[in-house]
Structure 1
Amino acid sequence: MQAIRRWLDSDIGFSFVKTPSAWMAALIALLCVLGALLAPWISPHNPFDLATLDLMNAELPPVWMEDGTSDFVLGTDDQGRDMLSVILYGTRISLVVGLTSVLLSAVIGVVLGLVSGFLGGWVDALLMRLCDVMLSFPAILVALMIAGVGRAIFPNSEGMVAYGVLVVSITLTGWVLYARTVRGSTLVERQKEYVQAARVIGVSRLRIMLRHVLPNVMGPVLVLATIQVATAIITEATLSYLGVGVPPTTPSLGTLIRTGNDYLFAGSWWISIFPGAMLVLIALSVNLLGDWLRDALNPKLQ
């Protein structure tokens, strides 16, 4: 409780409390995360239990529509799975893939950006030309290519292999932004007096980068990572929608939207609309948090 109280008394905590959009977005994001984490316990049905599925229940409408039933509040999909349950499980898969890829992208980008900005010279030129090459391709195209190569190498990939290919695809397209951001901040920090003083007294380059420069360039990284979580989740949903993401039998948000698209004009709109609404809700809440964090960490706006 004391830690929470100290945080609320800080500048960031005060800004959070005084910004309605920030705490509302945080509440929505928290509910989505808790729903995903607690899916095995709060879901009305288990979409992975084939013994409980009945094709006679396929494409049932939501409870408030005609022919709807209270057993399936948001209706069912084409396989007879409860939509509320598959959305909760699908959100968990999308969040795991998104958070994992953002974490890996941030680690790779921060390391390369820190080395590039601090060392300079041919190292900086080589890494920045690599970033330029990556930026010359659309992110979704690179992700599609990597995912396609992964599926070609592992044609029968299921489970962790398929998730690994998806995470690698998003990571390889996401580290560039972190590298360029950290490089720009490092170029500014390495010219400051505390870095020059550390060099004069003989502190090693590695220690200067890790103990002195890195903490001072993490502000923009935190803002970028917050916003990139929404981008990574949308990218995962896009890849799954295009058929190169998680297996079609796995209820991720992207596969649910793709499946529902086949039944959209047949009247079963809920199969794609509800997962799409969940995707928009997550992306919107995370983006609002990112915007608030960017303003809160900007000393010019204090």
Structure 2
Amino acid sequence: MLDHGTLTQEDIDIQVYGSELPNLGPNFHSPQSLLAAADYYEAYNAVMVAGAQPLTAYHAYHLPPDPEGHALECAMDNAFAEIQQQVPSDDPPSQGQSAELDDEIPDVDFELDDNADLLDAINHQEVSEDVPDLSFNTGISFEDLSTLPVYLLVVYMMTTWLHLQWHLPCAACNAVLGILSCLILALCPSLSPPFVTLPSAMKVLGLNLQVYELPCCPSCCEVYPPVGLLHTQDKCTPCNMSLFLPDQTKHGLLHSKKVPCMKYPYLSLSEQIQSILTIPGVEDSLDEWHT
């Protein structure tokens, strides 16, 4: 161990005051782990001398797992296995109950409206997972967040904030939701776990609004129709400036879609009014003002 650097002479010479155990170095936290390492190297040396296994750097420098840490890891694995085995033994829900459950669960397998002109024009474009898709629409029906448990609201808000503010990829957001769901089930199995996909979380919070990114002239700030429509223009009419970035990147690669030099987010007035009316107390304030 001294030759391999597992223990150093300084570790052995250190005086430990107020403790009955000697200093075992940074790699050993208990006498059991030191004994396990000694048994491991003794067995490995016997196998190597017999010629049954060649000497490798991995086996020479790889310490066996700490007994306490290994026991804790096994206990956590057993706890997760017990949670997964807790299958409810109740009778399957009836048709009416299934319909009620379907109404409570947000539907993320939606179909887009074919009558939306702007949406049909930009629906075929690919969207990078690192850039939030502002043209994403699900035919949203706004939910009352007051009925949502506080812990679910915090989980959904944190995940969507990471995606919208810091462009955290969708795969990473799904991983965060999955990890938090496992933690909630492990700590309190009686609580309802959160959804494990970002579109579901955004639908619950009502953040999947029909927002369009319209190209805008960087000089005169004139707004033009989105890409894909019949009246789409590549250059500004008064300024004769290009509205989109070059088709090729600096490395010579082609863009999957046209990227405007300047984007103008557009949300219809009806959608804005609908989202405002979902705020608790707004309707009462409007009624008081009207009367």
Using the size of structure 2 for normalisation, the TM-score is 0.25
- Higher radius of gyration, 1 or 2: 2
The structure, 1 or 2, with the larger RCO (C-alpha pairs under 8 Å, 6+ apart) is 1
More helix by share: 1
